[in-house]
């Protein structure tokens, strides 16, 4: 099974990424449809693939946060899909209760539009 990861992908939040894969290295851009940045802002993606698993990171720069996704890609009845779990760490906080709010976790599904 070969899945072409290159090109545009969209998740359930309408965030988009445009991936370029060379060998096992992932690069590209990410545009978020949620949070502080406007959708027009593009953020750099860097990551790796190994067989059918993927990990990539986005640095949201001046917004003081990093997000990392890990997951696997496959073909299902609707076509190519990337199933992920993500962690978003924000620089705000410091107190223990604020730290719990500064690290968010969720799941995401990316599909080619």
2, part of any domain? no
Residue 21's domain is classified under what CATH number?
Answer: 2.40.128.30
pLDDT digits (tens, 9 = 90+) for 65-108: 999 999 999 999 999 999 999 999 988 655 665 666 788 899 99
31, part of any domain? yes
Q: Can you read off the two tokens belonging to residue 31?
A: 């545009």
Q: Name the percent of the chain lying above pLDDT 70.
A: 91
1, part of any domain? no
pLDDT at 1 over 90: no
> Residue 100 belongs to what domain range?
7-111
36, part of any domain? yes
pLDDT digits (tens, 9 = 90+) for 24-77: 999 999 999 988 888 999 999 999 999 999 999 999 999 999 999 999 999 999
Output the pTM of the full model: 0.89
Total structural domains within the chain:
1
pLDDT of residue 37: 87
**Environment class of 54 (CB within 10 Å of its CB; exposed 0-12, middle 13-18, buried 19+):** buried
**Within the chain, where are the H helices?**
96-102
| Cα–Cα distance for residue pair 20/37, rounded to 1 Å | 23
Check the CA dihedral 88-93-95-101 and report its sign. Answer: negative
78, part of any domain? yes
């Amino acid at each position: 099974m070969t899945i072409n990861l290159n090109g545009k992908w969209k998740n359930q939040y309408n965030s988009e990424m445009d991936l370029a894969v060379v060998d096992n290295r992932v690069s590209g851009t990410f545009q978020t449809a949620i949070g502080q940045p406007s959708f027009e802002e593009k953020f750099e993606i860097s990551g790796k693939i190994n067989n059918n698993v993927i990990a990539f990171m986005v640095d949201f720069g001046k917004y003081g946060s990093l997000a990392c996704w890990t997951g696997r890609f496959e073909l299902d009845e609707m076509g190519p899909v990337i199933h992920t779990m993500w962690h978003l760490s924000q620089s705000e906080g410091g107190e223990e209760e604020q730290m719990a709010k500064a690290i968010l976790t969720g799941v995401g599904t990316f599909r080619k539009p």
